[in-house]
Chain A
Amino acid sequence: MKAMNRRKLFTVCATIAVASLAVTAIPAQAAEVGVSSSEIKLGMTLPMTGTASPGYNKIPGAVKAYFDYVNANGGINGRKLTLVVKDDQYVPTLAVAKTNELILKDKVMALLAPLGTANNKAVASVVNPGARGIPTLFVNTGFSGFADKKKYPTTFSLLPSYIMEAKIMAEYIKDNFAGKKLGLLYQDDDFGDDALAGFKQAGLNFDVKVAYASGSQGDKVSPAQWVTKLQAGGAEVVILFGVSSATAAALGTASVMKFAPQWILGSVGGDATTIKASGVPAGVLYNAVGASFAPATTDTADEYVKLFQEIYLKANPTETFDNNVMVGMNTAFLTAQALKAAGTNPTRKSLIAAIEKSGKNFASAALVPLNYSTTSHVGYNGYWFGKYSPTGDLKPAGGVYTVYTTDSGNGAVVKSTYKRPAMPAKGLPN
């Protein structure tokens, strides 16, 4: 009994002492940060302006459209979802500053789909959401390292890793372009290094490799230098493993320079709307190979495509429903489910626990499975390949989605047997 009392005494005193320290540092919070009785506030950083912004700057509109749809249907346990968006221009130091604003000024509950490998790494090392217990949901980068739960304890990947993508792409190339001279354009940072690791893992060798420094796609000289090198190397099949603006710059410049290899576009930069908006004729895209984990945006027979398109175009009638929009809405859909699963009074902790516990069973538009668990923060793990139509739409070969999955290690690339569960009623979280 005495021991019990002492324990209680210690607990009380320790609590007081800890509270005292906390009070010294920050004002007490009445509830979880970013969660009130009527609202859940989330924050996103991504390039809304600048060289790297085309295409990706549609994602917030897509997320908001879905959140508005949820809010119009009662919100999540009565709370409306709010998204605060900050423009980081794809500059890592700006991403740090803007994330600090989201956390300290806007007081968001969680970071949602922050974009870019370098930006997310900068935020992780300087702002350190992991140490602060702030969830970083569904990062918009395929850098494999973000699935490392030990290093990034509150971060959840969503996109298949670049290693996975490269491994699957390598298999596709071996099957379809054996014996051809291969060229690769990649970003000269961790994004590109991940891709190189995947191609190496798959045993794919390139005849010519061109690395570009992030940002250089915006100058007048670099894209012509890339194309010249690819051309000089005799590349017959060229993989463009860069951001949309770099992909568009390469395609546009190649078109001018009359260089027309078989193009294979990585998922990051393969958004046709963005490429076309950059002035690249749709014809240049025709027959290029592309990859996606979501259904084709023209596939209106797909229940998710149909619903998401309807919701998005109602909110943004003058915009085009494209792959960035599709991925953005799917991310919002997953977020809504995660918040619902986090309980009637969600906290940062319960949100993380909910994804770890139930995330792999969340409904999703993707044609590949989610892989969340208490030990894994890996999201999707596969792709299907298709070709761009004369109008620049990516469609599966033969009209059939053939999905391949793999991992970021030395696992094999396998044909997926995953059957996507039916969409919940009205596309709302159960």
Chain B
Amino acid sequence: MKLSSTKVRFVGFVSAAALITGVLVSIPVAANAAPACDGKSPVQSCAGVTSDGAPYSMMVPANFNGTVALYSHGYRYNVDIPAGIPIVGGYKITNTPEPVPGGNMTVAGYLFSQGVAIIGSGFARQGWNLDSALATNVELIDTFKKQFPTTKKVVAWGSSLGGAITQALAETHPELVSAVAPMCMADTSVNAELTMAGDFLWGVKTLFDPTIKGGNYSAGAAGNGEAITDIVKVLTVMGQLQAGVSSGAWPTTSSATGKALAAGGVPSRSALLLLGLMAGLPTQSAHFDSLSGPAGALKLTFPLAVSPALAILENGTNAAILAILATQDVELQAGGAIFDNTKTDYSARIVNEKVIYNAALSGNTVINALLGALSAANPGAPRAVGNAAAIAKMNALQHNTGKINVPTILMVGVADPITPAGASQLVVDKYAEQYAAEKVAAFKAAKVNGFVPVRNKLLMLWNQTSGKGYTTFDSTTGSPITSTPAAQGTNHCNFTTSQLLMVAKTLVSAGQTGELPRGGALVTAVRKAGSLAIDPLFRAPLLKYYNEQS
């Protein structure tokens, strides 16, 4: 379908800045020594370094009530990125400690006002660091307790990979934490996360620029250079796709397979959308809701045929950058190529999506042409072959089981493109089984010891997108506006201070009482936080990786 009007002119890419985190304090001390504290009031700051070299920060209010909140920051790239590269350029590897989300002082101030101390580490290594971060946190808790012997309760929270680190702490050391709040949590499996991003990147390479390396990077500086080159190429492709969203034009770098599709009348926006759908990326992004259209001729056509592709453009850009940098990092840890799609059936991945987005995909004829082009049978679309030993080593990295040992609060945006809501859904599903089994066990135990009720230990907070739509359009040109802040429920770990405060309050309360809020109090708290839903029947789709596992 050709668009009769060229009103879609410019789409700004979203920033991945949410991955990069803030600074609160930095006092250099020797590794494994007692922390150095400034003794100030009303909040004293302490700093130190754990035995593995991870710097940490402690901030303890004068009215410390014995509860400390341990925060784990999210994924930080493990490679310096030259300035001048859009979105991520100028990043330098940092292990600056981060004891509250994004250095949010309103949240810190609230916790201090309640007599709660905050601590956090910058971790010893960046990149995918679940194993080392877990060890760091265990040591940090011990160090804090020694420094502040009146400590009674430790609660833990974290964002993104930090959410997974927090969950890992609760799973492996439930004796150390009273409650946890993994937010926008990375999937329990690094393989699942990198499969999502890797599938999209492979598709971009296969159709739009076959010179993208997309994995199997060299070691050392050469590998860093290859990764940076890939980022530049991906951004170039995305820019050309953006320019061709109305006309359907393909990037000049497209592969022979891509060019054949273009010659057959397949619009590039449909190809881009299909790549996003098969990878499992959300079709709502920071500025594109797939619901709204500008006034006039495109009112219906825009949400039906264009907006989903633009949402993938926004979300996919970040996913592709993650795919490149995280793949390179995990390959270094695993010793070889870790992405393998030789057995992936992309057709099976989009059974529902090809119906829902049929118009945007330009109908079944185009869909079948695209799936044929991407099939393993097409020599023009060579699959990525992983290194079996490296994949085994990757799978041996710390991964979570989803077991809930202590009161747990999960919060995630339903359209988070980096750590999809499905990662939290997996834990919800596993807990449903666990909870049912615990109730049966309680019944059996009741015959001997009397009945002890099983308490619900999981609260799932879905940060929703607006059902009314949120894409805005220039009233004169009809072009979508992308300079506004990312909509609620979209982007990575995009939470308001109100939402973070709600989690903080609930976390501290659960840590102290052992119980999660419920009933009217919960409903009121959720309403006040804004945009959150606690609908137990809402289901986020699991990451596509699990298609191949079932």
Residues in A lying within 8 Å of B, measured CB to CB? 6, 9-10, 13-14, 16-17, 20-27, 50-51, 89-94, 97-98, 100-101, 104, 117-118, 121-122, 125-126, 128, 131-132, 187-190, 192-193, 211-216, 218-222
Contacts and interface: CB of A to CB of B under 8 A. Distances in A.
A9 B451 contact: yes
B358 A211 contact: no
Contacts, number: 145
Contacts of A21: 435, 456, 536
B295 interface: no
Interface of B: 1-2, 4, 283, 290-291, 299-301, 303-305, 308, 352, 355-359, 362-366, 435, 439, 442-443, 446-447, 451, 453-456, 459, 467-469, 516-520, 522-523, 534-537, 539
Contacts of B305: 215
Contacts of A213: 1, 358-359, 362-363, 366
Nearest to B362: A213
A27 B290 contact: no
Q: Taking chain A's interface residues, is the majority helix, strand, or loop, or is none over half, making it mixed?
A: helix
Given A91-B303, A213-B366, 16 more contacts: A6-B447, A9-B446, A17-B442, A17-B455, A20-B455, A24-B534, A26-B535, A27-B523, A91-B291, A91-B304, A93-B356, A97-B468, A188-B364, A212-B363, A215-B359, A219-B301
Contacts of A218: 300-301
A373 to B, nearest CB: 27
B299 to A, nearest CB: 7
Given A104-B535, A213-B1, A220-B4, A188 B363 contact: yes
Contacts of A20: 453, 455-456, 518
B488 to A, nearest CB: 14
Contacts of A24: 456, 459, 516-519, 522, 534
B291 A97 contact: yes
Contacts of B468: 97
B446 A13 contact: yes
A128 B467 contact: no
10 contacts: A17-B456, A24-B459, A24-B522, A91-B304, A97-B467, A125-B352, A188-B358, A189-B359, A190-B358, A218-B301
A118 B516 contact: no
A219 B302 CA distance: 12
A222 B2 CA distance: 9
A102 to B, nearest CB: 11
A161 B355 CA distance: 17
Contacts of A219: 1-2, 4, 301
B2 A189 contact: no
A17 B303 contact: no
B160 to A, nearest CB: 25
Contacts of B522: 24
A91 B468 CA distance: 13
B364 A192 contact: yes
Contacts of A121: 352, 355-356
A121 B534 CA distance: 24
B287 to A, nearest CB: 15
Contacts of A93: 283, 290-291, 303, 308, 356
A100 B467 contact: yes
A131 B300 contact: no
Contacts of A22: 536
A122 B541 CA distance: 13
Give the most central of B283, B443, B519, B537: most A CB within 10 Å.
B537
